[in-house]
Structure 1
């Protein structure tokens, strides 16, 4: 796939037609893959003519860019709403995790695998992945700092390693879900979030590394 062509600065509120096209493209890409799918396939899935589709997105690359930006915006909203007033941070993180990892259609995981594969050789796709990961990390870092301050999490929690471990576990969950139609999502989710809670109490910095 050639480098992605970025769409214009996304509208804060996508039109109903844009959303319909992006949803249709996700279904097509999950079935056929980015390379095999065509704009005609996406148009047929969305119930419109190819000519009408091109009024909204100029290429498959532009559709993929739109999907990435939509997901980044949704994630930014979710993680930006982490707040002590909404309950324990780890409870909030588990709810967000179940929302994005479990309750979303399996097609999301299939597409994630394709995006990561493309990112390994496509710098623009890699940048989009990094933008999404950065959005998550930024929201989590602020929330974890507050949770340490109010005593919910240990002051010595190694934030960097904790976030790295949780993100790798979530990526592994997505990979398994995307590859294996028989994947036991419920058991895997329970295991992931139990591990997250255990790590939050045990992945600590040495006492000498903690600033007074």
Structure 2
């Protein structure tokens, strides 16, 4: 089979203990926020002593970086599964998007918004977010290129603007889900992916002599 992107190989495999700590930290951060949460609370949530926790992560910042890196590894692995032989790439992208937008708990959206807030203040967190965005952009870009080559998408699709629109819509979705406990994630995803398909057919590069939109 011809995959869209190179099969992903994680730089390191997280141990069961790392996974337990990151899961516990996500729950604590979602409840209390990064700044109010303490390492002791995370240790209690993870069912271990604070001293043992520090053996795996020396600080809250290290835990936040671990959460971000785990998410990056997961999304990169998901993009590596995209394959034109499995059907339409837009259908596969939608299935992948719904997996992360509607099937993940709302706490993931709350964590994402907190990480973005930290990135606005902390250069190191901004670097981590940029690395995650780069992974998503590369995966989406490769999928769009493959869809254009196969004729599934118009060959003159304005790819840069299309991807920018997808990023902004997805960011807005996560922000809305984070701040509104009554937000209907499934209905929101329906609207987002309908817009994606519409833009894919209409956000085209201008013909020769036409002004750039």
Instruction: Using structure 1 for the length normalisation, give the TM-score.
Output: 0.92
Moved more, 80-89 or 68-77: 80-89
Asked if residue 198 in structure 1 is aligned to residue 198 in structure 2, the reply is yes
2:153 — aligned with what? 153
Give secondary structure in 2 for the equivalent of 1:132: helix
2:48 — aligned with what? 48
Q: Which runs of 5+ in 1 are unaligned?
A: 1-9
1:184 — aligned with what? 184
Distance, in Å, in 2 between the alignment partners of 1:79 and 1:11 is 16
Question: Offset of 1:208 from its aligned partner?
Answer: 2.2
Instruction: Using structure 2 for the length normalisation, give the TM-score.
Output: 0.91
1:28 — aligned with what? 28
* Corresponding pairs, count: 200
1:69 — aligned with what? 69
Tell me the alpha carbon deviations over residues 139-172 of structure 1, each in whole angstroms, 9 at most, x when there is no partner.
1111211111110000010110001101110100
Distance, in Å, in 2 between the alignment partners of 1:135 and 1:81 is 14
Distance, in Å, in 2 between the alignment partners of 1:207 and 1:150 is 21
Question: Offset of 1:11 from its aligned partner?
Answer: 5.3
Question: Offset of 1:80 from its aligned partner?
Answer: 2.0
Q: Which runs of 5+ in 2 are unaligned?
A: 1-9
1:169 — aligned with what? 169
1:137 — aligned with what? 137
Runs of 4+ off more than 6 Å = none
1:113 — aligned with what? 113
Distance 1:147 1:11, change over 3 A: closer
Q: CA RMSD in A?
A: 1.2
Distance, in Å, in 2 between the alignment partners of 1:120 and 1:86 is 39
Moved more, 11-20 or 176-185: 11-20
